[in-house]
Structure 1
Amino acid sequence: MAVSQTQVWQSAIVVEVSEIARDIKRIVFAPELPVKAEPGSHIDLLVQIDGEDVQRSYSVVDSSEDGSRIAISVFKAPLSRGGSEFMHTVSVGDSMRITQPLQNFPLRVGAQKYVLLAGGIGVTAIANMARVLKRLKADYNLVFVGRSREAMAYFAELEAEHGERLQAHIDDEGTSLKIPELLSDVDQDTELYMCGPIRLMDAVRRTWIERELDLPNLRYETFGNSGWFDPQEFLVRVPKLGLEVVVPPDRSMLEALEDAGADMMFDCRKGECGLCEVRITELTGVIDHRDVFYSERQQRLNQKMNCCVSRVVGVAGKASEGASAQRAVVTIEAH
């Protein structure tokens, strides 16, 4: 059972498709029911995966004042669950089903200082915030982290728009981000907004807590496919429902259980709200916690997991280890 914001679905025509960085496409829609997208907004779309309509979420990079044009950017992830691959096949003139803009990551206007941190494709959630803060003449810094300039969407545009307020940290150029340095000048009156890979955001959160900064001033949006391990096939058992379901690498546990007929509760599908929580009764393997809902202590206990994003891997789950692992198995209590 889905529990969420009111979703207004509509038809939208693709009016622009362009490649703006390596493996990243900008896609602009003309929606049937235009609504301006505020900073931090996202839209849900129906994409075709194996002949079925599957819901995916993408941050809104920008929209026109009247909402008649709304843009997203999609990275073709090598470990995609199928959504990004589909989005890289759309063409001008295609009709798609999308929602009006939804908001889970609002920008609060009025802070004394802002730090905006974008990791890779996470810039899609951050770029519009920077644009608004510049227009408001706010005190802000935009920090953009990436592996190379060629893979950093909108880099040239952001550099031209924000000048010295843009701080680039690029691995290939030997300027990787050092998080203690980033947070050294942050005080209790600073709000930090971030979107990027889970490793980056977890490191920021840990340092933020160590410095005893105000937690409500740390705000973030997550990637549902950003984890500590490469995704593996695993088995989930739900004795109460008589289910034993294989979760392939390109599907989430939530999707696999829905496919098997389980009536699941969820909202964000990004590991932020905790509504899809399941209790773990048995485990063979390691939980790859990809959520930002649980505290570090709760994640270490391995008693619960957010099945919309978190996965289970074998003990040799890291791709860098180059070893195969026996298929992991998790037994859960559903709602």
Structure 2
Amino acid sequence: MSRAFADISFTPSVKAAQSLYGSREANRGFEQVEEKRDSLLAQDMEFIAARDSFYQATISENGWPYVQHRGGPAGFLKILDNKTIAYADFSGNAQYLSVGNLFASDRVSLILMDYARRRRMKIWGHAKIVHEEDDVRLIARLEMPGYRARVERAIVITVEAVEWNCPQHITPRFSETEVQGLLAKLLAEKHQLEEQLTQKTAPAKPTSLGNGPLELIITGVRQLSPRIRAYELRDPAGKDLPAVSAGAHLRVPVLLADGQAATRPYSISSAGGQTDCYEIAVLAEPGGRGGSMAVHDLYALGMHLHCDFPRNDFALHAHIEHAAPAVLIAGGIGITAIKPMAAQLSAQGRPYTLHYAGHTLNTMAYRTELQMQLGASLHLYAADQQQRMDIHSIMKEAGQDSLFYICGPASMIAAALNAAAALGIDPQRVRFERFAVQKSNQDEEIRVELARSKKVIHVRADQTILQAVRAHGVVAQAECETGNCGTCAVKLLGGQALHRDAVLTEAERKDRICICVSRAQEGELVLDL
């Protein structure tokens, strides 16, 4: 306890009470200590600067005390020097109780609390009211950033005594900010423990997948965009890989989340380039069939993949005149099939333009690389910048003699096919590849009779015929499962098909159907399965 505190607080009546209750001798020593403590030390200033409130007592002319709670951002009670503190005073409720009391008596007492750490500081002093016209700089110094009310006056307190109390009987309380800080620390520790637990309990990632005839090893992984990752695949012995042309895809093995082994086709985005390396780029689709997420979760450097040999169901025209200009149209991840076409056309010296649409420039895979390589031949359309690709205008400007290649979402392909039909463009000059099964909100459950298997199955609206056939234990061949290759085509014995593939000719569609995408027009089909 400090001598200044005792000098102020131990009045004759207080000393009389001490004598009456037997504590006078114990308290007499505080009046004789050398440390006066009538100014602020470094630890006092640090404590004051961290407080966002305090209690202030003043005395009225009639002798009644008034205790006011003052609050603001941390540090609103400013330290002017080791003997002086001050704060900005606003109109508040305009009763002016504390201010009025200070007109009568300049004596004040402050209690500053740190409930979280159970600390309490008391200050006694003389207060002075300072208006703006008296000291403009002081008023400016006391203003609170973010609080727009006008400062009416400053209350400047000359410190006469400082005293710290023991923490007994202070109940710990925490502000919202303090609670958030504690929670952030706990959540960080929880996350770290969960990560450690996951690492200990998670099954080891496989080092090899698939049973296909082409063995490849992952030698490179790079992030093309927040959701698109590219994988570099090479022969384990460093040999050249089977030659591929633009539009080719590679069916790679995946291990789905339920433990089921499956395969998924991905365009070889490096087709026509290096002979000792394939690159595929995979878009993570949390709402998809699970293949892309399995690739992102499991594929790692050094993993061996036993794949099928590459296949091309989306090749550039070879039988149409060499000088015909090509129009390449890509949407989103569809650029992986279109990019190698641009490279092959450039190498052949053939004229072309590439139109590439995406949600944002930053999410468009290979954008920077294409800008550097293609220059004016590349046209970008970013949806977030209100840049809309007008496919009808693009195809109209290109003319009927051009060749068109489209890979993107179903809406983009539909727009291109509709534009081609409206402009009288020969369907043989338009090639497209889907990377997802074409569906419609109008799809309904259909009945399918499997003639050779002597089974009748019902195909749900959200299910393909291929999926339903396999679910009933009937073997059915398939490759792309998006209607691009024709591997799943079977003989149509009865019913009218709603064709959604990109491979069958009009003649073939009379008695064949691609069961990976197509359905029935009127609810019932008979198939040679």
**TM-score using structure 2 length:** 0.51
- Partner Cα separation in structure 2 for residue 248 and residue 68 of structure 1: 44
Partner of 1:14: 218
Q: Which residue of 2 aligns with 1:87?
A: 295
RMSD over aligned CA atoms reads 3.5
Which residues in structure 2 correspond to 1:199-278 (within 5 Å)?
A: 199-229=411-441, 238=449, 240=451, 241-242=454-455, 244=457, 252-266=464-478, 268-274=480-486, 275-277=488-490
C-alpha separation between the residues in 2 aligned to 1:177 and 1:47?
34
Deviations, residues 280-313 of structure 1 (Å, cap 9, x unaligned): 9899xxx9965335799x99xxx9863213479x
| Residue in 2 that maps onto 1:118 | 330
Distance (whole Å) between structure 2 residues aligned to residue 231 and residue 15 of structure 1: 43
1:229 Cα deviation from its structure 2 partner: 4.4
- Tell me the CA shift for residue 93 of structure 1: 1.3
**Equivalent AA in structure 2 for residue 82 of structure 1:** G
Task: Give the 5 Å matches for 1:129-168.
Answer: 129-168=341-380
Paired residues, what number? 305
Aligned: 1:108 with 2:317: yes
SS at match of 1:26: strand
SS of the residue aligned with 1:111?
Answer: coil
Structure 1, gaps ≥5 residues long: 1-6, 313-328
- Secondary structure of 2:269's match? strand
Letter in 2 for 1:104: D
Match of 1:47 in 2: 254
381, 390, 395: which one pairs with 1:169? 381
Contact 2:246 2:272 in 1 (8 A): no
Tell me which residue corresponds to 2:308.
99
Change in CA separation of 1:210 and 1:277 when aligned onto 2, cut-off 3 Å? farther
Spell out, residue by residue over 1:100-144, the C-alpha distance to the aligned partner (whole angstroms, 9 max, x if none): 321111123613211111111110001011112223332110100
The structure with higher relative contact order (CA 8 Å, sep 6+) is 1
Any idea what the Cα deviations from partners look like across 1:35-90, whole Å, max 9, x if unmatched? 23211111111212232222211110005856321100111124311111111121
Q: Residues 210 and 107 of structure 1: is their aligned pair in 2 closer, same or farther, counting only changes over 3 Å? A: same
Q: CA deviation at 1:279?
A: 5.5
Q: Work out the percentage of aligned pairs sharing the same amino acid.
A: 25
1:333 aligns with 526
Please say if residues 61 and 127 of structure 1, whose CA atoms lie closer than 8 Å, have aligned partners that are also in contact: yes
Q: Distance in 2 between matches of 1:180 and 1:9?
A: 43
Distance 1:66 1:39, change over 3 A: same
Match of 1:31 in 2: 235
| Structure 1 letter corresponding to 2:218 | V
Following the alignment from structure 2 to structure 1, what is the Cα–Cα distance between the partners of residues 467 and 369?
37
Q: Secondary structure of 1:108's match?
A: coil
**Structure 2 residue ranges without an equivalent (≥5):** 1-210
CA distance in 2: counterparts of 1:211 and 1:245, whole angstroms:
40
